[in-house]
């Protein structure tokens, strides 16, 4: 085993599970999360020799995963729903209750960009600038997506958060 491959193994061991969790939070499906994660890791492996700054490798893999997810989401919903990789026995719903269950259902209904922004900001705790780089948007746009995403999640929880009312025009306030 060469030095590069051992390095990649170390990187893989450190990043794979976290990346897979992000894949699940984006897609809501562990089978799709596995697909996205393996694809992102395989592409990172292919580019390993070119990634000179190893500390940028996690961001590289994350960017591939997010881009692949966005490609999936851009396709017609019908087509995206019915890929061969989805096996009935692998379907999974997280065991949530109360507000977390409501938030999870609301998260699944967010548009792909808002959902990506919310997951990257609040699960990976990435700064807005990094999320913007991953999503290929300006920090201001990411701020807007995050704000809108949170507003929709807040609405789902009813009137528990009256201090931050929904600002979007045309939508009913809780």
Partner 1 sequence: MTIEEQVRRMLVEAVEAQPTPSSAPFEGTVRRHRRRRQRVAAAAVTALLLAAAIAVAGIGPRGTRPTLVPVAPAVPPVPPGWKTFQNRVYNLRFAYPPDWVVGRDGLVAVPRDLAGPGGSKPSTAGPFAVTLGLSNDHYRFVIQNGTQVTQGRLAGGRAFIRWSEVSSGVRSTTYNIDWGRYCIGRGSQYCGSHAIIAAIQAANPALLSRYGPAAERIIGTLAPIHPTQASTGDPSRPACRPDQWRPVLAAPTKFAFDRPRWVIGGDVEYLGGPACHLQVRLRLTVERADGTAVPVPGTPSELTLAADLPEDGGRSRQIMRTATMWFWGWDNWCKQPLSQARVRVTADGGASTTRPLPPRSAQDPHIPCRPDAPWAITPLR
Q: Which of these segments, 29-37, 52-60, 65-73, 131-139, binds partner 1 (CB under 8 A)?
A: 29-37
Please return the burial class of 62, using the count of CB atoms within 10 Å of its CB with bins 0-12, 13-18 and 19+: buried
Which runs of consecutive H residues, i.e. helices, occur in the chain? 3-27, 30-46, 57-74, 77-81, 98-108, 112-122, 128-135, 139-156
According to the binding rule CB under 8 A, does residue 58 interact with partner 1?
no
* Smallest gap from residue 84 Cβ to partner 1 (A): 6
Residue of 158, 162, 165, 168 that binds partner 1 (CB under 8 A): 158
Residue of 4, 10, 54, 90 that binds partner 1 (CB under 8 A): 90
Residue of 37, 51, 62, 117 that binds partner 1 (CB under 8 A): 37
* Smallest gap from residue 63 Cβ to partner 1 (A): 17
Concatenating the DSSP letter of every residue in 5-28 gives: HHHHHHHHHHHHHHHHHHHHHHHS
């Amino acid at each position: 085993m060469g030095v590069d491959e051992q390095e990649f193994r170390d990187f893989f061991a450190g990043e794979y599970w976290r990346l897979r969790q992000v894949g699940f939070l984006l897609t809501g499906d562990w089978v799709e999360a596995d697909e996205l994660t393996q694809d992102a890791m395989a592409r990172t492996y292919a580019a390993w020799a070119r990634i000179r700054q190893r500390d940028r490798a996690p961001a590289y893999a994350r960017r591939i995963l997010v881009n692949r997810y966005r490609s999936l989401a851009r396709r017609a919903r019908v087509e995206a729903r019915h890929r061969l990789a989805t096996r009935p026995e692998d379907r999974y719903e997280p065991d949530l209750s109360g507000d977390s269950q409501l938030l999870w259902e609301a998260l699944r209904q967010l548009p792909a960009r808002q959902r990506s922004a919310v997951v990257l900001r609040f699960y990976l705790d990435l700064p807005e600038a990094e999320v913007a780089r991953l999503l290929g948007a300006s920090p201001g746009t990411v701020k807007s997506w995050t704000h809108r995403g949170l507003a929709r999640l807040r609405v789902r929880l009813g009137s528990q958060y009256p201090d931050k009312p929904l600002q979007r025009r045309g939508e009913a306030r809780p």
